[in-house]
Amino acid sequence: MLERFQPVPPDPILGLGQLYAADPRDDKIDLGVGVFKDAAGNTPIMTAVRKAEVVLHDQQTTKAYKGLAGDEAFRDEMRQLVLGDAVPADRVATIQTPGGTGAIRQLYETLKMINIDATLWVSDPTWPSHVGMAKHMGLKLAKYRYFDAATSNVDTAAMMEDIQAMQPGDVLLLHGCCHNPTGANLGSDDWQALTDFVLEKNVTPFVDIAYQGFGDGLAEDAANLRMMAARVPEMLIAASCSKNFGLYRDRVGCAMAVCSSAEQHAVVSRNLAVLNRLNYSFAPDHGAACVAIILGDTALRAEWESELNDMRATMMTIRQDLADALRRQCNSDRFDFIAEHRGMFSRLGLATPEVEALRTDHGMYVVGDSRINIAGLSGGRYEPFANAVAAVLAG
């Protein structure tokens, strides 16, 4: 049977890490997968997480199963972190999932189970797994124009034009903040217009928020999502703790369904928990338990928020430094947009041969669509990177 498998191409993001690891050059720079990096190029464990792990180690008395929906304290804290007071708690069904990817998967499973005729509309471009998972699961998929390569900004008019073709019952996937891969984000007026649109068209918004706290702040990054959640009857949300808690490999996330009523909430909650049972029974506990400890403890929470603020400040500084360095090196304002973008990524707008030249000639590992992980340039690495970009562009 297994001979039926065909060779598969490397993952567009994760495959780059393998090439990077095999590169013997000392001055190579990895700007691929979205993990935060400090000045030394390491991805540290956050101090608040370390402390929560100690608390967990000292206080945990059993590893017996928890409920299918996951840790109740974690789910409650996450609902508040993401939604604030936008929606009453008794309208939000939440399940713990293995990372934000697990949340997306479970919400796709929900579509497959109850709304297979719906088309899932995603931004062009979007995070490759949004598309990969939908195709793998046989969901109907459509793309709306999003990024204007000429301005490196969102083309809101084109987006609004494309989504007019949505049918009632379709699902509109939006990035809550820090758009991946472009770094270009919708403004609050756009979110208001989109909320009017989903209400008018009777389509379901699905917001993926994987980088809360990496853009402008924890509350700021959730503000548009909260505004929309307060106005619509139903909404799907995938949240991740991979980035803002640095818990990448521990796989911590949750899927939320904002329901139209408290009565509906009970049925939806139970169905989401059953989906966990059908796919993997229980989401991993360790990281989620640490998040619950941090968010439930005033001092640890303050420590975590301060570390998160530092990470965001580092990325903002790099954005400005890189934009300045590229302006100097290229003698052009072509890359000024980098300072305006938010989050972990920006798409530079380089052609494929230029991305390849960056890798082969300079040891700079950029995703094929020219997405860079801004955090990969900490510790002054923006300067050699800007030199390399200028050299490549000069031919």
Among 97, 152, 180, 244, binds ligand LMR (CB under 6 A): 180
- Smallest separation (angstroms) from ligand LMR to the CB of 128: 7
The reply to whether 243 belongs to the active site is yes
- Smallest separation (angstroms) from ligand LMR to the CB of 127: 5
The reply to whether 239 belongs to the active site is no
CA 330 to CA 25: how far, in whole Å? 25
From the candidates 210, 238, 283, 289, which is the catalytic residue?
210
Among 127, 206, 335, 365, binds ligand LMR (CB under 6 A): 127
Choose between 87 and 211: whose C-beta lies nearer to ligand LMR. 211
From the candidates 155, 170, 208, 250, which is the catalytic residue?
208
Choose between 143 and 334: whose C-beta lies nearer to ligand LMR. 143
Contacts of 331 (CB under 8 A, 6+ apart): none
Q: Which of 185, 252, 199 is nearest to 229 (CA)?
A: 199
DSSP-assigned letter for residue 123? E
Q: Per the omega criterion (within 30 degrees of 0), is the bond before 125 cis?
A: yes
The reply to whether 134 belongs to the active site is no
Q: Which of 370, 365, 328, 326 is nearest to 352 (CA)?
A: 370
CA 372 to CA 182: how far, in whole Å? 9
Contact (Cβ atoms closer than 8 angstroms) between residue 238 and residue 253: yes
- Smallest separation (angstroms) from ligand LMR to the CB of 12: 9
Is there binding between residue 358 and ligand LMR (CB under 6 A)?
A: no
Q: At 306, which amino acid appears? A: S
Contact (Cβ atoms closer than 8 angstroms) between residue 39 and residue 379: yes
The reply to whether 193 belongs to the active site is no
Size of the site for ligand LMR (CB under 6 A): 5
DSSP assignment of 269-310 equals: HHHHHHHHHHHTSS---HHHHHHHHHHT-HHHHHHHHHHHHH
Instruction: Tell me the residue nearest to ligand LMR as measured from the CB.
Output: 34
Choose between 34 and 284: whose C-beta lies nearer to ligand LMR. 34
- Smallest separation (angstroms) from ligand LMR to the CB of 184: 15
Footprint of ligand LMR on 3-62 (CB under 6 A): 13, 33-34
Q: Which of 189, 175, 179 is nearest to 121 (CA)?
A: 175
Footprint of ligand LMR on 245-304 (CB under 6 A): none
Specify the 3-state DSSP secondary structure of 220: helix
Choose between 180 and 329: whose C-beta lies nearer to ligand LMR. 180
Q: Which residues bind ligand LMR (CB under 6 A)?
A: 13, 33-34, 127, 180
Please list the active-site residues: 127, 208, 210, 243
